[in-house]
Amino acid sequence: MKIIKALFVIACIFSMSSVNSQNQDQTEKKDDKVRLFTMEEYSNLHLWVDKTIQEIGMSNELKEKYETLFGFHLDKIGRLEENETELTAYEYLKGMKLQISKLNSSVAPLLSSDQNKKHLDLMMDFERILTNKLALKKS
């Protein structure tokens, strides 16, 4: 009877350490994910984009549509780094440029030519920032 209890205790200890090990592996995988921007950098980027959008000069209704489209495509760019498979820098840049191109195409009909020029300037700066940040993270 003592042998059975001892085997039972040993089995419980091994199973608990196995579960703990699996949880630790999952935590390490989450920690290995490298975010492109820290929360502070993301906040600063958001403030800069907001300021630039203010300078474009849009009505409230247009601004709301624009920000919805901008947020949608920015979210798609953010999801590229959440990809389960590790993207190469080229694949990430390709996906980022695709989303920026889709954003440009979707907002162009809404904006005047002057507003669209300011938007394209914003997007060139935005793409440059993302590309530089990606180059730093991948090196």
Give the separation between CA 76 and CA 99, rounded to whole angstroms: 7
Asked whether residue 132 carries a pLDDT value surpassing 60, the answer given is yes
Cα 60 from chain centroid (whole Å)? 27
Higher-confidence residue: 102 or 86? 102
Among candidates 78, 69, 84, 77, which has minimal Cα distance to 33?
84
| Direct distance between the N- and C-terminal alpha carbons of the chain, in angstroms, rounded to an integer | 60
pLDDT value for 62:
92
pTM (2 decimals)?
0.67
Asked whether residue 105 carries a pLDDT value surpassing 90, the answer given is yes
**What share of the chain has pLDDT > 70, as a percent?**
67
